[in-house]
Amino acid sequence: MSLGNARGLAVAALAALVWMTAPAPAVQPDEVLPDPGLEARARDISRDLRCLVCQNQSIDDSNAPLARDLRLLVRERLKAGDSDDGVVAYVTDRYGDFVRLKPPFQANTWLLWLGPLAALLAGGAGVALHLRHRRRTAEPAPAPLSDAERERLNRLLGGQG
């Protein structure tokens, strides 16, 4: 086998591996809207809504029955003439802000958005206080040797210093 063939085979194997590990959308053929524009809007909305069963996947990626129901609901609302924001508002009104993968910054979600920053600041303050306390309670540096102590040390070391 030549070097060129080996490289080609390696590239093909890598491409196949990448293709097999890519997430496949869970949208079933019977869910797809005949209007490509509406379908594109439905897919965009579905990517931003959380599967309430899986919780770390969008409804577009989830195979859970509830995710399918939510995908169908999104498509029904779009067919009814709702705007994208209207569809998201409708779903959020029914299921709460948790259904959104990126919840809005508002009074009831401020802890969600600012919590990591607060934890980071608290951790930094804790480290600073620990270092400050450690510095204060550290043993003082020993006093320098007096001339008499230095002379005695030299004698003990046999005049090596």
Identify whether 9 is part of a domain.
no
Q: What is the mean pLDDT of residues 42-58?
A: 88
Q: What are 104-125's pLDDT values in tens digits?
A: 888 877 887 888 999 999 999 9
Residue 25's pLDDT band (cuts 50, 70, 90): low
Q: Which of 103, 37, 29, 36 is nearest to 71 (CA)?
A: 29
- Please provide the average confidence, as pLDDT, over all residues in the chain: 84
Identify whether 18 is part of a domain.
no
- Percent of the chain past pLDDT 90, that is, above it, reads 34
What is the CATH number for 81?
1.10.8.640
Identify whether 84 is part of a domain.
yes
Domain tally, the chain: 1
Alpha helices in 22-146 (DSSP H): 36-47, 65-79, 84-95, 110-137
Identify whether 54 is part of a domain.
yes
Residues sharing a CB contact under 8 Å with residue 105, sequence separation 6 or more, in sequence order: 113
Q: What are 78-87's pLDDT values in tens digits?
A: 999 999 999 9
Which residue is listed with tokens 């030299």?
154
- Residue numbers of the domain that contains 84: 26-104
User: Quick check: 79 and 88 in contact, CB under 8 A?
Assistant: no
Q: Is the pTM of this model over 0.85?
A: no
Residue 76's pLDDT band (cuts 50, 70, 90): very high
Q: Which of 110, 136, 37, 107 is nearest to 78 (CA)?
A: 37
